[in-house]
Amino acid sequence: MFDLVGNVRGVVSGTSNWVEGQWSQRIIQISVCAALLFYVLSAEDLINTVDKYVLDMFSVKMGKNGTRVLHAVTFGIFMYIGVRFLLDGILKRLLGTVEGMEEEVEGYEAEEAEVEGYEAEEEEVGIAPVDGS
């Protein structure tokens, strides 16, 4: 019986450590945020309410595809706000940093050089004169 409890504790502990390790990856954080936001915005009651609201306010019948486009745009806006201000703010307070963001960003060029493997120093390029002969 004690072996079973010990095995369960080991599995739970290992799973907990695995989840913590995965949560530190930016793609996982954004994916979870997107899944939660999609779940909230895809509620049928909300979609029907928005469709009625647009019809009442603007006298426009959007139909299924129009409503889908509106919700896609709304999802994109909420996703940007949610990640940029909420998720990044929470992670910065909890962890002190956000993956992919440096404390002091000098500019895109510096980041591009680091990402693409360019050297920060400029290379001298010599141009040989062309012979007319």
Q: Quick check: pTM over 0.75? A: no
> 92 lies in a domain?
yes
| Residue 117 counted as domain residue | no
Domain contains 109: no
Report d(CA 43, CA 51) in Å as an integer. 13
Containing domain of residue 82, as a range? 26-100
**57 lies in a domain?**
yes
Region of 125 please: left (phi>0), alpha (psi -120 to 50) or beta: beta
Is 105 part of any domain? no
Residues of the chain with pLDDT under 50: 104-115, 118, 120-123
Q: In 3-state terms, what secondary structure has residue 122?
A: coil
pLDDT reported for residue 132: 58
Backbone angles phi, psi at 51, to 5 degrees: -60, -45
Does residue 107 form part of some domain? no
Q: How many structural domains does the chain have? A: 1
- Name, in order, each residue with C-beta under 8 angstroms of 83's C-beta and a sequence gap of 6 or more: 30, 33
Residue/partner pairs of 42-49 with CB below 8 Å, 24 or more apart = 42/71, 47/71
Does residue 127 form part of some domain? no
132 within some domain: no
